[in-house]
Amino acid sequence: MDILQAVVLGVVEGVTEFLPVSSTGHLTITEKLLGLQVDDRGVTAFTAVIQFGAILSVVYYFRSDIARLLTAWVRGLTDRDARTSFDYRFAWYVIAGSIPIGLVGFFGQDLVAGPLRSLWVVAGGLVLWSGVMLFAEKRGTQKRTEQDLTLRDVVLVGLAQCIALVPGVSRSGATISAGLLLGVDRVTATRLSFFLSVPALGAAGVYEAIGASSEISATVGWVPTIVGTVVSFVVAYASVAWLLKFVAHHPITVFIGYRVVVGVLLAVALTAGWITAT
């Protein structure tokens, strides 16, 4: 991989990671168009590592919130009175909600990095999950705020996050849809999606950087990987700020038309033999 390819992929990751359009799906498509082998171990590891850059942007953007939650959580471990605060409970909610994808991602890593790295899967995920997003937006009451969240809510959203291991579904699309179906307002669902992304994608990026370091060195290279990670951080930071403002006034269904068009065009390209699935 050369530097220009890394920059392009970093931009794609930063733009799409927090939009309900599937960053993994877009990265897979872009990698294929750039002539890379999408199911190569080094390329899949590169994809996970540059997502870490996007996660760092969330940590930086929500640094005051995260610091407040961490402080409340640490205090609550030894102070009974501190355990009555919402911040203490919410910190535990995020931890509990992150466990499902940690387990599924770890035990299903061969499936995620292998058979699911197919453009047919991406096409199907983009089109089919659009129906779920439409249903969630139409049925969601949006009467509940962040203060109304319970452990059950966050765990259910965490379970929905596991579905996003299928390329094309979209992690934010899955978590925001789940939040809406639980009656949470759109901004709260989006903020929760951001908070759950930190342990999930952060751990995945570190795990791949360590576990697949030799594959990255052999097929991608660490300089392009670092460049892609830095670019994704910068671009994703702007995306986070924009998305929070956008969802306050627009439904997530505005992304459905784009998802369906990309999914259908991809299926046509695959059927016509213009590109191969892996």
What does pTM read for this prediction?
0.85
Q: Cα separation of 49 and 203, whole Å? A: 10
How far apart are alpha carbons 73 and 177 in whole angstroms?
28
Residues 6+ apart with CB under 8 A from 109: none
Q: In which domain, by residue range, is 62 found?
A: 3-272
Task: Say if 278 falls within a structural domain.
Answer: no
Domain annotation covers residue 122? yes
Let me know if residue 233 belongs to a domain.
yes
- Does 277 reside within a domain? no
Q: Is residue 147 part of a domain?
A: yes
Residue 251 counted as domain residue: yes
How far, CA to CA in Å, does 83 sit from each of 52, 66, 153?
Answer: 31, 17, 19
pLDDT at 78: 87
Q: What does the pLDDT look like over 221-274, one tens digit per residue?
A: 889 999 999 999 999 998 888 888 887 788 888 999 999 999 999 999 999 988
Domain annotation covers residue 40: yes
Domain annotation covers residue 213: yes
Question: Given the structure tokens 């920059």, which residue do they identify?
Answer: 7
Number of domains in the chain: 1
